[in-house]
């Protein structure tokens, strides 16, 4: 019996070791592009040009010496630490900071608006009994299953009819009324016991008071998770600004990164690091809220 137990424990430890090694390998694979971007942002233009010569000079590779070098040199440790790229991006190229505030002007209203609209709609679907509630919710979330490109043309037509093309409102309005927030918060609010609402009704509270005083405070984790997910989704928007905003000065930072010339690779790395910082900081700060909100909402990956 003891031999079987020891063999079983050995197998469990062996499986745990294999699983740990596999997860570690996956983590390294996923983190490698991030680490490479950060390390390359501290390299000089000459070193970067030499490392990425097969890419940056692909059209000019005609000599035998150039044909020999067919692979890029993915260095993680720079020969010399240089911060000139950050100086250029933050102080000389004011367009970067201008586009940064453009992104903020787009993302923040979408976050606030979607939290307000989604929380009220989710409360109605989760706590108010009305006819055809489940059927209406099913129809409502069908749009969540559609690719973004399907709704892009209808949104453009509506924005054109409202006269808000080339205006931030053409992007903010569709973002505010996104269906994912309603789905997430509705699942979250369904786990809040109805006894709280019933006790409040006994005291004479209506739906609006119950929503503000009971449901919203108990949904803080879900609201925080929604805010983080909405920020990450809209911070990376590219298609909407390109389609709805003809004025390039109104484009967000995500579009600006695609306009950096190939001969400014070092600046591109530095700008990419600065672009990632808000998302990384928000994720690291709100990781617990995000995990708790998704777990309590009942959504499974």
6 pLDDT above the threshold of 60: yes
Domain encompassing residue 251: 84-297
CA distances from 54 to 36, 68, 229, 269, 296 (A): 17, 10, 37, 17, 49
Q: What is the DSSP letter of 264?
A: G
64 pLDDT above the threshold of 90: no
Alpha helices for 146-264 (secondary structure H): 148-162, 169-176, 179-189, 194-202, 207-210, 216-218, 220-235, 239-244, 253-256
Tell me if 78 is assigned to some domain. Answer: no
Q: 13 pLDDT band (50/70/90 cuts)?
A: confident
Q: Are residues 254 and 278 in the same domain?
A: yes
Instruction: Report residue 275 as tokens.
Output: 């672009």
What is the C-alpha radius of gyration for the chain, rounded to an integer number of angstroms? 25
Highest mean pLDDT among 30-44, 106-120, 279-293: 106-120
262 pLDDT above the threshold of 70: no
108 pLDDT above the threshold of 50: yes
Q: Are residues 18 and 94 in the same domain?
A: no
Count how many Cα atoms sit within 13 Å of the Cα of residue 12 in the half-sphere of its side chain.
Answer: 6
62 pLDDT above the threshold of 50: no
Q: 169 pLDDT band (50/70/90 cuts)?
A: very high
Q: What is the DSSP letter of 258?
A: G
Q: 120 pLDDT band (50/70/90 cuts)?
A: very high
Q: Which residue has the higher pLDDT, 154 or 67?
A: 154
Q: Which residue has the higher pLDDT, 169 or 45?
A: 169
Cβ-Cβ contacts under 8 Å for 207 (sequence gap 6 or more): 123, 127, 128
Opening angle at CA 174, ends 259 and 116, nearest 5? 120
Q: Which of 47-61, 70-84, 169-183, 234-248 has the least mean pLDDT? A: 47-61
Q: Are residues 155 and 240 in the same domain?
A: yes
Q: 168 pLDDT band (50/70/90 cuts)?
A: very high
119 pLDDT above the threshold of 70: yes
Spatial CA neighbour of 218 closest among 204, 234, 200, 232 = 200
Tell me if 75 is assigned to some domain. Answer: no
Task: Return the pLDDT at 195.
Answer: 85
Which residue's entry shows tokens 């990384």?
280
Q: 171 pLDDT band (50/70/90 cuts)?
A: very high
Task: Return the pLDDT at 298.
Answer: 53
Task: Return the pLDDT at 172.
Answer: 93
Cβ-Cβ contacts under 8 Å for 89 (sequence gap 6 or more): 96, 267, 270, 271, 274
Q: Are residues 63 and 156 in the same domain?
A: no
Tell me if 77 is assigned to some domain. Answer: no
Q: Are residues 97 and 138 in the same domain?
A: yes
What is residue 238's three-state secondary structure?
coil
What average pLDDT does the segment 54-74 reach?
A: 57
| CATH number of the CATH domain containing 218 | 1.10.3720.10
Strands (E), the chain: none
59 pLDDT above the threshold of 50: no
Q: What is the DSSP letter of 163?
A: T
Spatial CA neighbour of 240 closest among 228, 230, 227, 252 = 252
Question: CA 232: distance to chain centroid?
Answer: 2
Q: Are residues 145 and 13 in the same domain?
A: no
**How many domains does one find in the chain?**
2
Tell me if 219 is assigned to some domain. Answer: yes
What average pLDDT does the segment 262-283 reach?
A: 83
Q: Within 10 A of 34 (CB to CB), how many other CB atoms are there?
A: 13
CA 86/CA 76 separation, integer angstroms: 18
Q: Which residue has the higher pLDDT, 11 or 60?
A: 11
Tell me if 74 is assigned to some domain. Answer: no
Q: What confidence tens digit (pLDDT) does each residue in 184-231 have?
A: 899 888 888 888 888 888 888 888 898 988 899 888 888 988 999 899
Question: CA 7: distance to chain centroid?
Answer: 45
Provide the mean pLDDT of the chain: 82
Task: Return the pLDDT at 118.
Answer: 93
CA 122/CA 181 separation, integer angstroms: 8
58 pLDDT above the threshold of 60: no
Q: Are residues 155 and 284 in the same domain?
A: yes
Which residue's entry shows tokens 């967000």?
252
CA 137/CA 44 separation, integer angstroms: 55
């Amino acid at each position: 019996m003891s031999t079987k137990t020891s063999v079983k424990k050995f197998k469990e430890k062996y499986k745990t070791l294999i699983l740990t090694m596999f997860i570690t390998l996956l983590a390294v694979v996923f983190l490698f592009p991030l680490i490479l971007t950060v390390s390359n942002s501290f390299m000089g233009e000459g070193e970067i040009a030499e490392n990425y010569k097969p890419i940056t000079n692909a059209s000019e590779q005609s000599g035998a010496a150039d044909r020999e070098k067919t692979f890029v040199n993915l260095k993680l440790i720079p020969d010399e630490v240089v911060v000139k790229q950050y100086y250029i991006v933050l102080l000389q190229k004011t367009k970067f900071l201008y586009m940064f505030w453009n992104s903020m002007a787009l993302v923040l209203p979408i976050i606030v608006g979607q939290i307000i609209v989604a929380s009220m709609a989710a409360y109605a679907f989760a706590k108010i009994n009305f006819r055809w509630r489940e059927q209406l919710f099913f129809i409502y979330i069908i749009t969540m299953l559609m690719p973004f490109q399907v709704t892009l043309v209808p949104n453009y037509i509506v924005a054109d009819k409202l006269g808000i093309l080339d205006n931030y409102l053409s992007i903010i309005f569709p973002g505010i009324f996104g269906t994912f927030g309603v789905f997430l918060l509705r699942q979250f609010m369904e786990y809040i016991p109805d006894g709280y609402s019933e006790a409040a009704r006994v005291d004479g509270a209506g739906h609006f008071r119950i929503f503000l005083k009971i449901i919203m405070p108990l949904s803080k984790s879900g609201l925080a998770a929604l805010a983080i997910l909405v920020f990450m989704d809209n911070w990376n928007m590219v298609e909407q600004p390109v389609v709805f905003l003809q004025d390039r000065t109104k484009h967000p930072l995500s579009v600006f990164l695609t306009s950096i010339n190939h001969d400014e690779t070092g600046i591109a790395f530095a700008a990419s690091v600065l672009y990632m910082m808000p998302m990384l900081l928000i994720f690291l700060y709100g990781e617990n809220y995000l995990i708790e909100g998704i777990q309590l909402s009942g959504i499974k990956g």
